[in-house]
Amino acid sequence: MGQSSKPSEITAGGNDRPLHDTIKSYPLINELQEVTITRSIVELRKKTESMNIETVSSTFIRRNLGGSLMKSLERFPGIKTIGIGSGQSKPLIRGLGFNRVVVIDNGVKHEGQQWGADHGLEIDQFAADEIELIKGAASFIYGSGAIGGIIDVKPPHIPAPQTLGGSIDLIGKTNNNLYGTSVNLFGRKQHLFFDARLTYQSYGDYRVPTDRVYVYNYAVDLYKNYLRNTAGHESGLHFNAGYIDDHFSNIFYISNTRMKSGFFANAHGLEPRNINAELHDVSPRDILMPSQEVNHFKIINRSVYQLGVHQYEAELSYQNNFRQEFSQYINHGYMPPVYPDTMRIPINLEREFDKQVYSLNLRDQMVLGKHRLTVGLNGEYQQNDINGWTFLIPAFKQTTGGIFIYDKFQLNDRMLLHGAIRYDYARIRMYKYTDWFNSEINEGGNMISQNLVRASDLNRSFHSLVWSAGLNYNLGKIAFKANVGKSFRVPIAKELGANGVNYHYFSYERGDSALSPEQSYQADLSLGWNEQNWSVQVSPFYNYFPNYIYLNPTADHDYYYGAGNQVFQYAQSQIMRYGGEIQLKWKFLKNLSTELLGEYLYSEQLSGDKKGYTLPFSPPVTGLLNFTWSPEINSLLKNNYLSLDYRVAAAQNNIVPPEKKTPGYQIVNVQAGTEFNLYGQQIMVSLQAQNLLNTRYMNHTSFYRLIELPEAGRSIILALKIPFLIGSPTMNINNNN
Amino acid sequence: MKKQLTGLFLILVMAISACKKDSQPEIDTEYPEIDITGTNAFPKQCATIKRGETFIFSVILQDNAELGSISIDIHHNFDQHTHSTEVKSCDLDPIKIPENPFLLIQSYDIPENLKVFEIEQEVSVPVGVDLGDYHFMIRLTDKEGWQTIKGLSIKITD
């Protein structure tokens, strides 16, 4: 069997992409062996990284499949999502999200419009083979923004030599009548391989356990419990191909993800909307306005070259994130009552963002005695164009570059020391934007009508020096790790240059062009104790920001630029945060095990206008109690499981304007599954009941919480994976069975 | 050696996780209130306003700590794009295209250090504006930045 992993190569990971990716055989070919090897790699990664790392397999994703990748990962303590509706969500790691979490896809930073709470993450969860979650700061490797943590979507495994095969995933979901499929085809000669995937998912409006919701005091009746216009569909196209041998590999990863989804029609943001209910209720699958459409195209070329003690790695990439938001034209503020027919912007195009991103990563990992040294360089260029009849952020161009050096020193058998230092330079150039309509402004007592300038040309550059130090101490069953470090984030265009009205939120957002780069100091600890039948892991952290950038809702209304709306001012304040996660596992019988997961987070603003308040989107204390029964039924059904998750979330009463206190809740999820052999192929079936008791609850970090919309009701999810092997050396198959 | 180390680590972990402050600072988490139930309050939901005349905008504003500022916005709803924030619905005229709709965006100061304030402001409706359905939006903040919104449906008539 082509399983050629050598221990030395497995550990060759260093700080990021381990070489084992390129050597491991395809999981379908040898599932059992793969699982064992993956586990040992995961354990090794945990023991040799001073940061808090969790590895997620595609099996986990399949068993816990949610409406989006992040929803599927939400079971991990410390990981939550900020989302809207059933298909759009973005990561929230230990309470930090948006531009403070970096998503890495095939080695490259994923860049979209991360600042928007109603924007999802443009990643296809079926294409994710393995994901690494890093909780805590990691700016020293990933640069600006990696303050809260990293979601690292690893490249798919490379197929074993001389194989041709694939798989078909099928998924169905009852709550929003989702159906979807993902078809994969891969093949490899000796050195050349390809891996192609096509994913399509379509879902209808999702259902909530109530037939009436209140937008303020106005009662909105829901037709058959459907949240009007929350339907959507998405597609993903992936093609990876390249060359691989023992010392060199060069692989192209090309993908295009497209999503379209509607927003709840009875409110746009916080603004109550009158709608033609009959029109909306004809079909729960149609997508009317308001809606959003996003297309993300990505091409990455990745090379790895081993020479002596060196391993050289390079990633070169281009991304295009094209987002459009549609809404009927409504003359907010001073906009003309009738949309002028001379306008070149389409009447329904409320906002558009078109971002082009070019990036380059270079790394050299070298083994020098007991030192494993990595030096690296990252460069990125972004261009963001805007369109639409409302203005929120200016167009900009941004160039960033960073160099780092990271040393991992094996002091003795038990102790590993880590040290890193990084320097970054960033330059952002923003472009002037003038309203297309006149506003009434008061100049020296006279009312005059003029087009307001919403953003001025602006040039800013930033420098930053960050560092990190850590240690691992492994003694038998005990694994201890500690890490301290400084991270940073360059202010984004919205924070520097916003001067627009977000009419649907009744907010006038005012940027501050003088903001300095946000800095964060964080200390992380982790203590793990692994016995044969039980394990414990406790991971507390402490985090301090001298200048956290925060959108502060003030007491003022602005008559001129704000069209009478409340002023939300970007400001910087001192922040203290601490918290942690706990994981307990106990296998009390041969086939029965239990798990307890918990997380706690406290944030407080230590200075500024909101001194004493928390930060927005602070997740409440949550706990998860799981029981899993893994019966051995017979030789035909393998990997059977029946698992029950009891999730408890405490009330979140620690809030900051414009949030609302969210009551606690308890929900029950059930997962079950099996694998059986059909014509020599291992078919995997997984069944889930999410929110089994159809509990009505609100999620504090959900965007719809502000207008009091409950989360989705009961949903039964059936997922099927049918792998197939078209051609392979007979040896492989014989080995397998 | 092994036991000592374990003990030391456990103490460290507990020390860090025990860094919780005993006294939480008092923070205000209450939204201000716009009271339109009083007999003097105007406009109320489904109220009628005369074109070419003035009316007194009057509501009682309250907050548990300190009021911030208030802003009003009167805009047409001829296309029936929004509904009010109120329980009661009003009769709407047929949908029509605006020609010269009335638009008023105005913010008012609230004197400092007040928990209750009755605002009384004269608003005049010009002669030439379109008749029909309008929205009367009231936005009230408190000092801490909590904002309460009220959207009333009103009619401008002759």
Cβ contacts of B69 on chain A, cutoff 8 Å: 555-557
Scanning the structure block, which residue is given the tokens 């929205």? B135
What mean pLDDT do residues A422-435 have? 95
Tell me, what's the pLDDT at A141? 85
For the cut 60, the answer to whether the pLDDT of residue B5 exceeds it is: no
Which one of B141, B150, B152 makes the best mutation probe of the A interface by having the most chain A beta carbons within 10 Å?
Answer: B141
Tell me, what's the pLDDT at A436? 94
- Tell me which residue of A36, A83, A76 sits closest to A56, measured CA to CA: A76
Q: What length does chain B have?
A: 158
Q: Would the CB atoms of B17 and A657 count as touching at under 8 Å?
A: no
SS3 assignment, position A622: strand
The strand pair at A396-410 and A163-173 is best described as: unpaired
List pLDDT tens digits, range A159-173.
Answer: 999 999 999 999 999
Residue B58 structural domain = 29-157
What mean pLDDT do residues A500-517 have? 90
E runs forming strands in B90-142: 104-108, 116-124, 132-142
Is residue A88 very low, low, confident or very high in pLDDT (cuts 50, 70, 90)?
Answer: confident
List pLDDT tens digits, range A596-642.
Answer: 999 999 999 999 999 999 999 999 999 999 999 999 988 889 999 99
Q: Would the CB atoms of A506 and B149 count as touching at under 8 Å?
A: yes
Cβ atoms A12, A309 nearer than 8 A: no
Burial A260-285 (b: 16+ CB within 10 A, else e): bbbbbbbbbbbbbbbbeeeebbeebe
Q: Where are the alpha helices (DSSP H) in A120-276?
A: 139-142
Cβ contacts of A655 on chain B, cutoff 8 Å: 29
Q: Which residue of B has its CA nearest to A481?
A: B9
- Tell me which residue of A375, A378, A374 sits closest to A360, measured CA to CA: A378
Q: What length does chain A have?
A: 737
- Tell me which residue of A114, A88, A110 sits closest to A100, measured CA to CA: A114
Tell me, what's the pLDDT at A45? 80
Bond preceding residue A290 cis, omega within 30 of 0: yes
Percentage of chain A modeled with pLDDT above 90: 73
What mean pLDDT do residues A213-237 have? 91
User: Who among A219, A506, A661 is closest to B139 (CB)?
Assistant: A506
CATH number of the domain where residue B104 is located: 2.60.40.10
Q: Would the CB atoms of A331 and B80 count as touching at under 8 Å?
A: no
The answer to the question of residue B78 being in a domain is yes
Is residue B25 very low, low, confident or very high in pLDDT (cuts 50, 70, 90)?
Answer: low
Cβ contacts of A441 on chain B, cutoff 8 Å: none
The answer to the question of residue B96 being in a domain is yes
Q: Would the CB atoms of B73 and A564 count as touching at under 8 Å?
A: yes
3-state secondary structure A572-612: EEEEEEEEEEEEEEECCCCCEEEEEEEEEEEEEECCCCCCC
Tell me, what's the pLDDT at A23? 35
List pLDDT tens digits, range B77-101.
Answer: 998 887 788 888 888 899 999 999 9
For the cut 70, the answer to whether the pLDDT of residue A138 exceeds it is: yes
CA distances from A343 to A232, A279, A338, A435, A531 (A): 29, 28, 11, 12, 69
Cα separation, A348 vs A505, whole angstroms: 19
Q: Say yes or no: A664 contacts chain B, CB-CB below 8 A.
A: no
Tell me, what's the pLDDT at B2? 52
First to last CA, chain A: 12
Residue A503 φ/ψ, nearest 5 degrees:
-60, -30
Q: Say yes or no: B44 contacts chain A, CB-CB below 8 A.
A: no
For the cut 60, the answer to whether the pLDDT of residue A3 exceeds it is: no
Bond preceding residue A394 cis, omega within 30 of 0: no
Q: Say yes or no: B114 contacts chain A, CB-CB below 8 A.
A: no
Q: Would the CB atoms of A557 and B71 count as touching at under 8 Å?
A: yes
List pLDDT tens digits, range A243-269.
Answer: 999 999 999 999 999 999 999 998 888
What 8-state DSSP symbol labels residue B53? Answer: S
- What is the topology classification, in CATH, of domain A7-736? Maltoporin; Chain A (2.40.170)
Is residue A15 very low, low, confident or very high in pLDDT (cuts 50, 70, 90)?
Answer: very low
For the cut 80, the answer to whether the pLDDT of residue A443 exceeds it is: no
Strand order in the sheet with B54-62: B33-35, B54-62, B116-124
Q: Say yes or no: A557 contacts chain B, CB-CB below 8 A.
A: yes
Q: Which residue of A has its CA nearest to B89?
A: A218
For the cut 80, the answer to whether the pLDDT of residue A276 exceeds it is: yes
Query: In 10 A of CB A390, how many CB atoms?
Result: 21
Which one of B64, B147, B149, B152 makes the best mutation probe of the A interface by having the most chain A beta carbons within 10 Å?
Answer: B147
Q: Say yes or no: B13 contacts chain A, CB-CB below 8 A.
A: yes
Cβ contacts of A478 on chain B, cutoff 8 Å: 2, 5-6, 9
Cα separation, B83 vs A54, whole angstroms: 47
Cβ contacts of B37 on chain A, cutoff 8 Å: none
Cβ atoms A669, A691 nearer than 8 A: yes
Q: Could you tell me the two tokens for A176?
A: 């929003």
Cα separation, B86 vs B153, whole angstroms: 9
Shortest Cα distance, chain A CAs vs residue B71, angstroms: 6
Residue type, A712: A
For the cut 50, the answer to whether the pLDDT of residue A75 exceeds it is: yes
List pLDDT tens digits, range A295-305.
Answer: 999 999 999 99
What mean pLDDT do residues A140-158 have? 90
Query: Which are the contacts of B138, defined by CB distance < 8 A and separation ≥ 6?
Result: B34, B59, B70, B71, B72, B149, B150, B151, B152
Q: Say yes or no: B96 contacts chain A, CB-CB below 8 A.
A: no
- The helix/strand count (H/E) of chain B reads as 1, 8
List pLDDT tens digits, range A549-577.
Answer: 999 999 999 888 888 899 999 999 999 99
Scanning the structure block, which residue is given the tokens 């569909």? A233
Q: Say yes or no: A558 contacts chain B, CB-CB below 8 A.
A: yes
For the cut 80, the answer to whether the pLDDT of residue A154 exceeds it is: yes
The answer to the question of residue B116 being in a domain is yes
- Tell me which residue of A332, A374, A367, A368 sits closest to A350, measured CA to CA: A332
SS3 assignment, position A735: helix
Tell me, what's the pLDDT at B14? 55
Cα separation, A642 vs A593, whole angstroms: 11
Cα separation, A317 vs A252, whole angstroms: 10
Tell me, what's the pLDDT at B112? 94
Which one of A214, A216, A551, A559 makes the best mutation probe of the B interface by having the most chain B beta carbons within 10 Å?
Answer: A216
What mean pLDDT do residues B21-27 have? 61
Q: Would the CB atoms of A661 and B85 count as touching at under 8 Å?
A: no
Tell me, what's the pLDDT at A605? 96
Tell me, what's the pLDDT at A270? 82
List pLDDT tens digits, range A372-418.
Answer: 999 999 999 999 999 999 998 999 999 999 999 999 999 999 999 99
List pLDDT tens digits, range B49-79.
Answer: 999 999 999 999 999 999 999 999 999 999 8
Tell me, what's the pLDDT at A732? 42
List pLDDT tens digits, range A533-553.
Answer: 999 999 999 999 999 999 999
List pLDDT tens digits, range A667-704.
Answer: 999 999 999 998 888 899 999 999 999 999 999 999 88
Percentage of chain A modeled with pLDDT above 70: 93
The answer to the question of residue B13 being in a domain is no
Q: Say yes or no: B19 contacts chain A, CB-CB below 8 A.
A: yes
Cβ atoms A582, A596 nearer than 8 A: yes
The answer to the question of residue B108 being in a domain is yes
User: Who among B13, B98, B106 is closest to A564 (CB)?
Assistant: B106
Cα separation, A178 vs A233, whole angstroms: 9
For chain B, what is the domain count? 1
Count CA within 13 A, CB hemisphere, residue A288: 18
Residues 283-322 of A with CB under 8 A from B: none
Beta-bridged to residue A295, according to DSSP, are A258, A322
- Tell me which residue of A564, A539, A396, A557 sits closest to A480, measured CA to CA: A539
Beta-bridged to residue B153, according to DSSP, are B135
Cβ atoms A302, A251 nearer than 8 A: yes
CA distances from B43 to A559, A571, B130 (A): 21, 37, 19
